[in-house]
Structure 1
Amino acid sequence: MAAARSEGRQRGGIEVRGDSLRVKVYAGLDPVTGKRVYLRETIKGTDDVAMKRAEKKLNELLVQVDKQRNAPSAVKLGYAIDQWLRTAELDDGTRDMYRGYVERNIRPVLGETPIKKVSARVLEELYAELRRCRVRCDGKPFVEHRTEEEHDCSEPPKNTKKRCRPHECRPLAASTVRQIHSIISGTLTAAVRWEWIDSNPARIAQRPKQKAPEPDPPSPTDAARLIDAAFELDEDWGVLVWLVMTTGIRRGEVCALKWSRVDLDEGTIEIRRSYTLRSGVGKEKDTKTHQMRRIALDTETTVLLTEYKERCRQRFAGLGMELSDDMYVFTGVRNPDPTQPYSPHAVSSRYKDMAERLGIKTHIHSLRHYSATELLTAGIDLRTVAGRLGHGGGGATTLRVYAAWVAGADRKAAEILGSRMPKRTKSG
């Protein structure tokens, strides 16, 4: 067996394997599993010609390993991620969510790994480990200590979140691993732009498949019950639920809606902003797709909004205020100040409580699904539905999410076309 040596340690060699030669070179430790990694090549034959080819391949692999180890850029993945998060155009909520994934799942494993050594294989092994167990355990039983304070594991603490418990492997959801992949891929794409690496291995790394969306809108019967309950609870609340159901606007968008964006003469509303609440601090921001859209209102919705606006005008007059265009359309029950929007969390909570009293398992976002599916079932074209929902991609997102209802609309279109075809004249 021929072998190459460096600094007293064997780095690689050639061994006979039946009627072929195998070239094997040590490439270091795997950053995910900690196991030794080898580069291998098989050369057919065992004669002198085959041996020369094997020796040439051995030198090539040694050069490849040396080039990786002595890369001009020693930037580590953790540092690169920090730089990318600092410069990437992300909203605050997304940035905070990404930082959580980085600290929990990426930095402990690959944070100290030079980005030159982050390969597609390394990423795929990380994703596989996270899909098996989120803490990447070694498969041996152990006790999870939920607090660093000195304690007796046999005595349950008052705070159940700190209770020690035997470890049970809990895989990360495929969608979460895809988010982690997006963080790493975004970082490595930036590293290519910054000339730290030549290519982005995340582009070819396999990630978990995206689960097909499963929208679950309320049935027409349940939708009618929800609307009736909303108006019985509060006329103003009923208008909010009705508007979301008939337009499909998002929770944050209805909270950010101002009277200046409601044209009752034309029967339209403009969606330009969304309202978010993080750690008790509210903030207006762009819509999810960063695009403005104008949505037409039906006659009944226009009438409801007109009556609601008049109620608001009279209510504010009683408080010595005058309704103005820069006021929010909907305000909270506990805080009816029209200069402050309805809290998105309060909207979700109130809707959930109402639905639970009716025995309906649903949430406020399902009204958006209801609006979309009713339009598609009625035969409204995909682009129009996508425009009302604010989906990007010219309907691609709408088609992916509501494929089953698009198929139903297609069947209805086929029946309509069939009924309009000229009748065949029977011969004979």
Structure 2
Amino acid sequence: MSRAPLPIGTWGSISTRVVKTDAKGKAVKHLSKANFRDHDGHVRDVTAFGNTKTAAERRLLQKLQDRARTNQSGELTAMHKINHLLDLWEKRFEGLIADGKRSPTSLVTYRRVLKNHIRPALGELRIGEATTPRIDTVLAKIKKNAGAPTAKTCRAVLSGAMKLAVRYGALAINPVREVDTIEGKPRNQPRALTGEEVTLLRTSLATNERAIQADLPDLTTFMLGTGVRIGESLAVLWSQVDLEAGTVEVTHTIVRIPAEGLIRKITKSRAGERILTLPQWAVAMLRARHATGIRLGDPIFPDTHGSYRDPSNTRRALRTALSPVGSTARRDLGESLKTLPRQTHQTRKQVAQHLDWPQTRIELIETGRIRVDHELIATLVATYDIQLDNHHALLTQLHDEAQPAESDKLTWVRSHALRKTTATALDDAGHTARQIADQLGQSKVSITQDIYLARRAANPAAAQALDDAFGDLDLL
């Protein structure tokens, strides 16, 4: 019976012999040799010399390992390190981005988990050592330390990388396939603004100087009237708006890529490219903006320099505008507290260091943007040698501040809540999940139903439904 051949990329036993001696007959040169089965299937001799037997064998082993990693077919072997596999996976993902099949923001997210979690835990292991139990243990630790969402992202990256290893021949099966499912806390039920909250939102933004400076009233109107993502709304150009037909074409989104800055890229799926019919109040808002003078190549919601706005900064501006500043008493208390460090000749930085607080916490208190209580204020004013219980004016303001304010009802609102509000309004009006998904630019109806509802062609009836849901925009 013939002997089984060596597996491709492996070698047989190593033999060593003396090939040179000195005048006294002492061995001074050794030759080590082994049979190596190359990636073309042929078995070849690989040799290495050394002054000692150990040195010769060590050099030969290094040559064999290097030969196993070097191949002409682009395959991997189980001897490669996982870091090498991850490098190949990253390059492949970059190619998919260049072909327009993946989003560059996805690679930013994946590189973050690669750097912070996957490479430190698994990078120096060999591909053949990436067993299901070992990967399962690593993902469980990541979930414990960084949370379920991060662990799920790590699982997706590892699965893609190991799938590549299987395709290149380094593994027979994907070890991530049998890893335990990662489950986090139940997702909160989708929450949309009610009609009363929409009115309160419009009023709050229209009367907030900082919100007006950030151009938030018109932006939120546009988002409510279309259901587009904040990045998509910031990417719309005037050339894509047809005021006569009352439509807007959505084709791109704005994202920030490290080392590249803001870029305007196509939407992440073909479903994201859509033409939407606008409700009349959204058309009226755009007509008013158009009347001030525009250029067709400019975004309809530019920054102060006329360029694209950063979605992250815009979200931050919205959060700030919707912070609980509606209470006049809260603002008055903040103004009173702001004068105290001046009287004691202290800077905000000095006060923060004394209390071991971040400076931003004191700023939020002094601008009335967070709720405070007796204990918090007592701790703060003690820094100014003031006993709160003996300061009747501050006590009165603190009592008034504790009363609820109307704007406090909006502190939960984020930009995505506007999108959910649009979806829920259409759902209440009897539109199908497919119609709503087309409005939102989503390819999967299940996502629309599970995430965006609180209970491709344009959908012209959506405009009338939104008109009925929110009425005129006199408040804006």
1:76 Cα shift?
1.8
1:282 Cα shift?
1.1
Residues 308, 349 of structure 1: CA spacing in aligned structure 2 closer, same or farther, 3 A cutoff? Answer: same
Q: Is 2:98 the counterpart of 1:93?
A: no
Q: Is 2:423 the counterpart of 1:372?
A: yes
1:128 is matched with: 140
Which residue identity lines up with residue 314 of structure 2 in the other structure?
V
8 Å Cα contact 1:77/1:112 also seen in 2 = yes
**Within 2, Cα distance between the matches of 1:80 and 1:211?**
32
Q: Is 2:227 the counterpart of 1:255?
A: no
Which residue identity lines up with residue 259 of structure 1 in the other structure?
W
Residues 304, 98 of structure 1: CA spacing in aligned structure 2 closer, same or farther, 3 A cutoff? Answer: same
1:353 is matched with: 320
1:189 is matched with: 163
**Within 1, Cα distance between the matches of 2:290 and 2:301?**
10
8 Å Cα contact 1:188/1:202 also seen in 2 = yes
Gaps of 5+ in 2: 1-75, 97-101, 326-406, 456-476
Deviation per CA, 1:393-424: give whole Å up to 9, x if none.
2x12112214651xxxxxxxxxxxxxxxxxxx
Map 1:302-313 to 2 at 5 A: 302-311=283-292, 313=293
Q: Secondary structure at the match of 2:287?
A: helix
8 Å Cα contact 1:376/1:382 also seen in 2 = yes
1:244 Cα shift?
0.6
8 Å Cα contact 1:270/1:294 also seen in 2 = yes
Q: Secondary structure at the match of 2:321?
A: helix
Map 1:259-278 to 2 at 5 A: 259-278=238-257
1:220 Cα shift?
2.5
Which residue identity lines up with residue 105 of structure 1 in the other structure?
H
1:379 Cα shift?
2.1
Which residue identity lines up with residue 192 of structure 2 in the other structure?
P
1:420 is matched with: none
Q: Is 2:185 the counterpart of 1:228?
A: no
Which residue identity lines up with residue 324 of structure 1 in the other structure?
R
How high is the TM-score relative to the length of structure 1?
A: 0.61
2:282 is matched with: 301
**Within 2, Cα distance between the matches of 1:228 and 1:252?**
24
1:232 Cα shift?
3.7
Equivalent residue in structure 2 for 1:281, among 241, 244, 261: 261
Residues 324, 373 of structure 1: CA spacing in aligned structure 2 closer, same or farther, 3 A cutoff? Answer: same
1:162 is matched with: none
1:173 is matched with: 147
**Within 1, Cα distance between the matches of 2:109 and 2:286?**
37
Deviation per CA, 1:141-199: give whole Å up to 9, x if none.
xxxxxxxxxxxxxxxxxxxxxxxxxxxxxxx2111100000010010112222222222
How high is the TM-score relative to the length of structure 2?
A: 0.55
Q: Is 2:451 the counterpart of 1:401?
A: yes
**Within 2, Cα distance between the matches of 1:130 and 1:349?**
28
Percent identical among aligned pairs is 23
**Within 2, Cα distance between the matches of 1:307 and 1:232?**
18
Residues 404, 91 of structure 1: CA spacing in aligned structure 2 closer, same or farther, 3 A cutoff? Answer: closer
Map 1:381-392 to 2 at 5 A: 381-392=432-443
8 Å Cα contact 2:423/2:436 also seen in 1 = yes
Which residue identity lines up with residue 449 of structure 2 in the other structure?
L
Gaps of 5+ in 1: 1-70, 135-171, 314-322, 406-428
Deviation per CA, 1:290-320: give whole Å up to 9, x if none.
5411111112221221222112x1xxxxxxx
Moved over 6 A (4+): none
Greater CA deviation, 277-286 or 101-110? 277-286
1:281 Cα shift?
1.9
Q: Secondary structure at the match of 1:365?
A: helix
Q: How many residues align?
A: 282
Q: Higher relative CO (CA 8 A, sep ≥ 6), structure 1 or 2?
A: 2
8 Å Cα contact 1:252/1:276 also seen in 2 = yes
8 Å Cα contact 2:191/2:454 also seen in 1 = no
1:231 Cα shift?
3.2
Which residue identity lines up with residue 172 of structure 2 in the other structure?
D
1:353 Cα shift?
1.9
1:113 Cα shift?
1.8
